[in-house]
Amino acid sequence: MADTSKETPGPNDKPRRVIKRYSNRKLYDTKDSRYVTLQQIGEMVRAGEEVQIIDNATKEDKTEVTLALIISEDLKAQPRSVPLGTLRDLIQERGERLLTQLREGPIGRLIPGGTGDAAPPSAPETEAE
């Protein structure tokens, strides 16, 4: 099994910051050798850092669950920061179509490959015959 205590490459060969989640729910940043909060992890993601949350006991990847918790905490602080329809769709669908919508919407800046509030991508160019 690979050692997850060091940074591992993320998409586009960017180093990934590994955060260990302990059974007491504390989160430990292996890069800076310190405990961090959900809010601090959210700031890392907003700054463009690749993070991976690993359960220290089971070695399971808990990144998705942790990012969902961060969104939940953000919603508590700023209600309506994510459109209600988007949240409903997230629960109902879980499909690629929803991920595409999220990447192109306001939350897109938190998702790898997301565009934030940018215009939707244009259609792929085809060769003229």
Please indicate, yes or no, whether residues 88 and 106 belong to a single structural domain of this protein.
yes
**CB-based contact 57:23 (threshold 8 Å):** yes
Q: Helix count (H) and strand count (E) of the chain? A: 4, 5
Q: Which tens digit of pLDDT belongs to each residue from 87-104?
A: 787 777 765 666 676 677
Name, in order, each residue with C-beta under 8 angstroms of 41's C-beta and a sequence gap of 6 or more: 19, 27, 51, 53, 66, 70
Residue 123 lies in a domain: no
- The confidence score (pLDDT) of residue 113 equals 61
Its domain, for residue 87, covers 82-112
Q: Which tens digit of pLDDT belongs to each residue from 27-85?
A: 999 999 999 999 999 999 999 999 999 999 999 999 988 998 898 888 888 877 778 88
Please indicate, yes or no, whether residues 50 and 94 belong to a single structural domain of this protein.
no
Please indicate, yes or no, whether residues 31 and 59 belong to a single structural domain of this protein.
yes
- The confidence score (pLDDT) of residue 106 equals 66
